Amino acid sequence: MISFLALGDWGETTSLQESNARSIQSYEFKVDAVLALGDNFYDHGVESVSDPQWKTTYEEAFRPVCPWLAVLGNHDYLLNPQAQIDYTAVSNTWTMPARYYDKVFSNDQNSVHLFFLDTFELSERESRVNTLAMNHENLHQWYQMASHFHPDKQLQWLEHGLQNSKATWKMVIGHYPIFSPGPHGNNLELIRTLLPLLQQHRVDVYLAGHDHILSHQNYGLETQFILSGTGSRVAHPSLPTGIAYFRFFYQFLEFGFLDTQGKPFYTRILVPNSRHPLLLQSSS
């Protein structure tokens, strides 16, 4: 078995963050990695590798013992996103070797290929709106950042990696969701540019945060779209909170959401896309 837990938008010291930390610590199975889905530090990211939030919001709050594989969220871009990459060399657990990267987990019978994206770069409109929403004085900062973005290069990297992956399972991870029933809604830029790659290469799971909700949908497609954005904030008090879990086996994937005791309250089973015919055949 290859096992992951996943939470996004976790970067604030709240009672919800404390509950999720207890859930991680109470989970009964060995975890190969925690997938940190962005907005790792509210409200403006970190200034440097010595920013005190590394200690208070990450090390002390979660007491990490396994690798945390992280992506950048829109809040993480407001100060120094490079500091979160650089912290990889400082920490025994924090892993973000680049703004986008991939990693394969495997055992004798099974393999999972994880692709971590920088969706801030891939979704210019969403990123501009979120940057300006924090402070209108960020307009100049936004254009400075955007001038260094090369979304086509990142998409080409992803396409090459998906095309050449030999793993049983393929999972793509970003901060922004492609589809979301939450306040931010669907991302038209990612629907246009990223979704076709997921469909073409039969990606099993697309995992994101950003909206402070839990959601699982497939929208009639092969890919499962999972949103785990209640790491430290929730969109409305009446909504469920928790973290996502994934248990990959050779024949199937069990995934869902955990409560504050580390127990599943929502579970689904998935067969690898590579092991069955296309669900939607194009007409000729």
Higher-pLDDT residue of 124, 89: 89
184 close to 178: Cβ distance less than 8 angstroms: no
The total of structural domains in the chain comes to 1
Q: Does some domain include residue 279? A: no
Per residue in 169-191, pLDDT (tens digit) is 999 999 999 999 999 999 999 99
Residue 142: domain span: 2-274
| CA distance linking residue 115 with residue 138, whole number of Å | 30
Q: Does some domain include residue 99? A: yes
Q: Does some domain include residue 283? A: no
- What does DSSP assign to residue 59? I
Q: Does some domain include residue 135? A: yes
CA atoms within 13 A on the CB side of 231: 31
Q: Which residue has tokens 């001038």?
A: 147
Per residue in 227-282, pLDDT (tens digit) is 999 999 999 999 999 999 999 998 999 999 999 889 999 999 999 998 777 765 44
Percent share of the chain, pLDDT over 90: 85
Residue 283 pLDDT > 50: no
Question: What pTM value is reported for the model?
Answer: 0.95
Q: Domain with 105 in it: what CATH number?
A: 3.60.21.10
Per residue in 116-175, pLDDT (tens digit) is 999 999 999 899 888 888 775 666 677 777 778 899 999 999 999 999 999 999 999 999
| CA distance linking residue 141 with residue 216, whole number of Å | 35
H-run or E-run covering 247: strand 243-248
Average pLDDT, integer, range 49-72: 98
**All residues at 6 or more sequence positions from 212 whose CB lies less than 8 Å from its CB, including other chains:** 9, 182, 229, 230, 233, 234, 235
Q: Does some domain include residue 119? A: yes
Q: Does some domain include residue 282? A: no
Q: Does some domain include residue 255? A: yes
Q: Does some domain include residue 284? A: no
Residue 76 pLDDT > 90: yes
What average pLDDT does the chain have?
A: 93
